[in-house]
Structure 1
Amino acid sequence: MAVALDLIFLPLTFYLCVLLRYDSSTPQLFQMYFWIILAAPLISIPIFIRLGLYRAVIRFIDQKIVYVVVLGVTLSVVCMAALATFTHTVHLSRGVFGIYWVSAILYVVASRFIARGYLLKVDHGGGNAVRVAIYGAGHAGMQLASALRAGHEYLPVAMVDDRRELHGATIAGVRVWPAKELPRLVKEKQIREILLAMPSLRKIQQRAILESLEPLKVKIKVTPPIASLVNGELRVQDIRDIEIEDLLGRDAVAPDPQLLSTCIENKVVMVTGAGGSIGSELCRQIVLLSPSRLILLDMSEYALYQIEQELQGILKSKNLPIEVLPFLGSVLDGAKCEQILRTFAVDTIYHAAAYKHVPLVEHNPIQGVRNNALGTKVLAQAAVDAGVSCFVLISTDKAVRPTNVMGATKRLAELILQAFARTQQTTRFCMVRFGNVLGSSGSVVPLFRKQIMAGGPVTVTHPEITRYFMTIPEAAQLVLQAGSMGEGGDVFVLDMGEPVKILDLARRMVHLSGLEVRGESDAPDAIEIEHVGLRPGEKLYEELLIGANVEGTQHALIMRAQETELPWDALKTILVRLEDACERFDYQEIRALLQHAVEEYAPQCEIEDLLWRENRDAGMYQKKQENGREDQARSHLKQVI
């Protein structure tokens, strides 16, 4: 079709140029230029074919086609002028060729872009295209607008930017507006999504913009950081849904290379709980720091397989000569742990293996005590016996003034390592304590996202509950650096920023999904937020420090806490009795021993172990039956008397 149109309009364009040059039309003039008018398409079209002009897909052409058109028209005009000269047609005016050069360029370029506009209009005319506004009128915004207009899924109807010099301008066919106009634009132009196309923004700046967009209750999507874009080009597939990490995230402090590599480079490193959220991220970062070997230990076959395969992929893609050894097993298996540590001469252990889900551990306290506390003691003893240099425990903010079994067992694990640090000089023990990590197994964020996608309700335990949050990569990076600063028995606390109210978190996630909260709106698709009450062992807020004795370190986000300890002799007796109580399923003794070891432990619920509750309820039922039979016997005896 393009060839046919050029076959018609190129000679017509040349004839019009003759009219423009001579300002008249006579039979003699037409006869003089007749053969060159016919030659115009016969010369131009083969050149255009050679340059690939007809291979361009009209929907996806951009400004690069102008270069091809200018080159093609220039070559064709030169050929036509040369032909006229060699045939000694001296009556032809050079001005006609100059006018034709300009006119032909305008015709070819304009015809392509008019066709492109028509096709895009047809694509978007079905009403199915999502009407979007692009926040950011810079280079990324221009690329995104062009990419969207070439497709048929999105229709950019407005661009927004905070720079005054751009207001009123048109970029990629879309007008630029100030940010304050967004509420009006959303209503008038029926905007359904806002795309944040500012990949070079710092986290704190992006968070401020997202917070300003939240009241619009329009779905927000963002571009990834500029460093992660392919060849610096922004594509439609790079746009992703807004994540709560974008709203709660903060600018990361550049890591200290010396701190990162001290306990890892050219050393044998072991990660327990390697398939978990924190353990797996530790493994990903460790393999990039050139250990000689990385040993993985996990009880879950599937989780261990997943992280081992992922690490092998990383090593292969980056051509790293690091040996990764996966081991199925538990930290409670002291003999196996010591065999692994001795056989491979492990230098550093990152102990991330633990049960961390508060209600589950509350319902299974014996497993929590064994895995979190006694398992830490077994692994620590194996580390000392095998001559491990450094042992880093991944702790939690729930260990501070705990109200649940999980927090109490993690605090007990800290006390165990502090006691080990004071009784030997072989292994340097330290602990790193931090709050919730976004996206971890059991985290509230994936649960909220799933509930919103299902149409609600979003379940919040209590309207006043607050939590600290940090991204998994940042937490793992800080753990690696804190482990290098330990002197023995140190408790490091990560700066988690400001605590976040979970109710506000739920509302933000609903709003940033383009939906509204029921009660704030009567929309049929509004999401209900339901308060279900605190679960066993939960408290309204978490803390990172037991006391006020804290000091800074050489890293801005890592603090060192000085907290109470228990001497090993006293702690050893408690652990022996605790292990015996677990063997006897004596839940009341277990709770009493935890309270004795962890003075701050203040349970906020009864014993919630499922076996204990069932046996207790069955015993109470049996006792009621016995009492009932006794009452019946007394009544019968009275009647007889």
Structure 2
Amino acid sequence: MTYRNRVTTLAGLDSIIVFTAFYVSYWTLSPELVIFKNPMLLATVITLLIGHHIFSFIYKLYSKAWEYASVGELTTIVKAVSLTIAVAAIMQELFFHNIYVRALMITWMLHVLLIGGSRFTWRVFRDHFVYNKKDIKKTLIVGAGAGGTMVARQLLHNHDIELKPVAFIDDDPKKFKLDVLGIPVVGDSRQIPDIVEKYKIENIIIAIPSLGKKELNKIFAECTKTKAKTQTIPMLEDLMTGKISVNEFRDVQVEDLLGRELVELDMERISEYVAGKTILVTGAGGSIGSEICRQICKFNPQKLILVGHGENSIYLIEMELRKKYIGKIEIFAVIGDIQDRARMFEIMEQHRPAVVYHAAAHKHVPLMEFNPREAVKNNIFGTRNVAEAADTFGVNTFVLISSDKAVNPTNVMGSTKRFAELVIQSLAQNSHTKFVAVRFGNVLGSRGSVIPLFKKQIQAGGPVTVTDPEMTRYFMTIPEASRLVIQSGALARGGEIFVLDMGEPVKIVDLAKNLIKLSGFTEEEIGIHFTGLRPGEKMYEELLNENEVHPEQIFPKIHVGKVKLIDSSILNLLIEELLEMSQTEMHDTLLAVANNKYDFSTMVSVVN
């Protein structure tokens, strides 16, 4: 129906309603009165008709979508009808010096009842007949609060979504047995399996946007006992900013279950050392480096220098940021290998950054076990090149991205990251540049992460390969890791190793089981195969060893590690000798130094 036809139809219907309400009210009080023979009654009905149509246009009663009518629309009807009756009363007083109060009151009541009824009848008809689909999916909403209410309202109103809310659950006992939008609250999260079976639920929506990770894990564990599909709504911050609407349901991701609770950043302190400054990021095309760039841009730097060896990855992040921050931030894409010392000095001299985030590194544990020379060249020599260039050209803050594998390392990759920490700590002793390192656990979704591997194995029909049933790891998301890097730079005084309190480690086998369930399979359909530890792998990762732990936190969930230093001249001599060693000797030397078991006595005599 076109807008013009819609207005004509509603105006005609309303005219009949106005006349009927007026006639019935006067006939009820004085059956002998004949409207068309009484000038006052005739003038009143004409006034009512004209007044109603005028106020209907003012309050847009003819342009509202009445299939979504609610209390707000009823209030608008009452306002329009009340003003119409008031105009009729004024007309009676002005021209006939008499107001038929009782008749006008009955007219008002019938007018509201009939106009409102005509509009809401269409909604009832639409809900129960037009959109009564047979393939609708019965849906259980977890959370009867504001988020759950919004979800229920969206599902009730949006009939393009084939989900029908039939019940709420909520852990607040005060809400039990209440009705929300006509939907009952039937129990708490512990009863999910029974409720799903009782109501034949096919879909579960977790509608608590502020839900913590531990609580989400508990609820999801109950959901996994059913065959219902489990979804969730966007994060609270995305809903508040309008970035995502509440009806954009998505499947529960493994990141939702494993990511730690967010740490609130000191925005003012970060802004002080980033806003209006030149920032340089090495490895800017990588998973961590590119996310650091995205997060940094939120603090309005003057210039952002994207340094990377791979031209395609640097091009992609450059195009992404240029599109979003055009005219706001100067963005420079620089191709350069951190192993090229002259190139690193050239870049530092040209751009003179205030802050450097060094994310470029080789990180794959088994690959570096068989290629220790490349790990040394990139992770140690490359870090030294960038750090010494930063020192030479007066960089204010240098932040090294390290790893939990640098703690008591059993592999080449972890050992070279520990060496990199030693390099910057050595420089920090006599430099105006504040050199710091940040240690991370495993980063969800990054290149080389176990999750993409598991997903590919599941897509291929399995099995999912896990090294050992007892293997555990710490996990954090890429945005969380990047925020920590930025916050650490703001806290830097020089020489620190910052470590995040990442909570409890997660068993890799539990991660595999969750991914299988989230992918819509059972463990019987997608098996789990244990392969044993790969070269260089540890059963358990650590963030600090016993001698490094500092009792105090300098920021919520951020610790500073106490690490033994090595004399800079001895360290430089050892680094220069590394590339002259055989692969086996290099491997053993790296592990010995990183684990504080190397005999430096011969080097001390050479230096002296």
Q: TM-score range by the shorter chain?
A: 0.7 to 0.9
Matched, 1:475 2:484: no
SS of aligned partner of 2:62:
helix
* 1:594 alignment counterpart: 590
User: Is the deviation greater in 401-410 or in 229-238?
Assistant: 229-238
- Pairwise CA distance, 1:19: 6.0
Q: Give deviations 1:201-245, integer Å, cap 9, x for gaps.
A: 555555554455454454333333444325779844444332333
Question: Following the alignment from structure 1 to structure 2, what is the Cα–Cα distance between the partners of residues 141 and 134?
Answer: 6
TM-score (norm. length: structure 2): 0.83
* 1:64 alignment counterpart: 72
Contact 2:445 2:451 in 1 (8 A): yes
Change (3 A) 1:553 1:158: closer
- Pairwise CA distance, 1:298: 0.9
Amino acid at match of 1:432: V
Q: Give deviations 1:505-537, integer Å, cap 9, x for gaps.
A: 232344456x45234xxxxxx544444444443
* 1:607 alignment counterpart: none
Change (3 A) 1:571 1:146: same
Change (3 A) 1:185 1:395: same
Matched, 1:73 2:62: no
* 2:132 alignment counterpart: 125
Match of 1:518 among 519, 523, 540: 523
Contact 1:403 1:601 in 2 (8 A): no
User: Is the deviation greater in 188-197 or in 564-573?
Assistant: 564-573
Matched, 1:302 2:301: no
Aligned runs of 1:22-61 on 2, under 5 Å? 44=52, 47-49=55-57, 51-61=59-69
What root-mean-square deviation, in Å, do the aligned CA atoms of Structure 1 and Structure 2 show?
3.7
Matched, 1:440 2:430: no
Question: Following the alignment from structure 2 to structure 1, what is the Cα–Cα distance between the partners of residues 101 and 460?
Answer: 72
* 1:368 alignment counterpart: 375
Matched, 1:228 2:238: yes
* 2:606 alignment counterpart: none
* 2:350 alignment counterpart: 343
SS of aligned partner of 1:541:
coil
Aligned runs of 1:269-284 on 2, under 5 Å? 269-284=279-294
Aligned runs of 1:104-123 on 2, under 5 Å? 104-122=111-129
Question: Following the alignment from structure 2 to structure 1, what is the Cα–Cα distance between the partners of residues 275 and 50?
Answer: 70
Amino acid at match of 1:186: V
- Pairwise CA distance, 1:189: 2.6
User: Is the deviation greater in 526-535 or in 398-407?
Assistant: 526-535
Question: Following the alignment from structure 1 to structure 2, what is the Cα–Cα distance between the partners of residues 234 and 480?
Answer: 26
Question: Following the alignment from structure 1 to structure 2, what is the Cα–Cα distance between the partners of residues 527 and 249?
Answer: 24
Aligned runs of 1:561-640 on 2, under 5 Å? 561-580=561-580, 587-599=583-595
Matched, 1:167 2:173: no
Question: Following the alignment from structure 1 to structure 2, what is the Cα–Cα distance between the partners of residues 430 and 86?
Answer: 86
Count of residue correspondences: 583
Contact 1:192 1:219 in 2 (8 A): yes
* 1:245 alignment counterpart: 255
Question: Following the alignment from structure 1 to structure 2, what is the Cα–Cα distance between the partners of residues 127 and 135?
Answer: 24
SS of aligned partner of 2:105:
helix
Contact 1:468 1:500 in 2 (8 A): yes
SS of aligned partner of 1:346:
coil
Question: Following the alignment from structure 2 to structure 1, what is the Cα–Cα distance between the partners of residues 36 and 299?
Answer: 81
Q: Which segments of 5 or more consecutive residues in structure 2 lack a partner in the other structure?
A: 1-8, 599-608
Contact 1:493 1:558 in 2 (8 A): yes
Amino acid at match of 1:278: I
User: Is the deviation greater in 288-297 or in 448-457?
Assistant: 448-457
SS of aligned partner of 1:142:
helix
Change (3 A) 1:187 1:80: farther
Q: Give deviations 1:541-579, integer Å, cap 9, x for gaps.
A: 211123433213422322222334444444434433433
Matched, 1:495 2:501: yes
Amino acid at match of 2:590: L
Question: Following the alignment from structure 1 to structure 2, what is the Cα–Cα distance between the partners of residues 450 and 457?
Answer: 10
SS of aligned partner of 1:554:
strand
Amino acid at match of 1:63: V
Q: Which segments of 5 or more consecutive residues in structure 1 lack a partner in the other structure?
A: 520-525, 603-641
SS of aligned partner of 1:229:
helix
Question: Following the alignment from structure 2 to structure 1, what is the Cα–Cα distance between the partners of residues 84 and 526?
Answer: 64
Change (3 A) 1:102 1:204: farther
- Pairwise CA distance, 1:341: 1.2
Contact 1:271 1:279 in 2 (8 A): yes
Amino acid at match of 1:518: E
Question: Following the alignment from structure 2 to structure 1, what is the Cα–Cα distance between the partners of residues 54 and 460?
Answer: 58
Contact 2:415 2:594 in 1 (8 A): yes
Question: Following the alignment from structure 1 to structure 2, what is the Cα–Cα distance between the partners of residues 488 and 49?
Answer: 69
Aligned runs of 1:291-330 on 2, under 5 Å? 291-316=301-326, 320=328, 322-330=329-337
Contact 1:294 1:325 in 2 (8 A): yes
Question: Following the alignment from structure 2 to structure 1, what is the Cα–Cα distance between the partners of residues 514 and 28?
Answer: 64
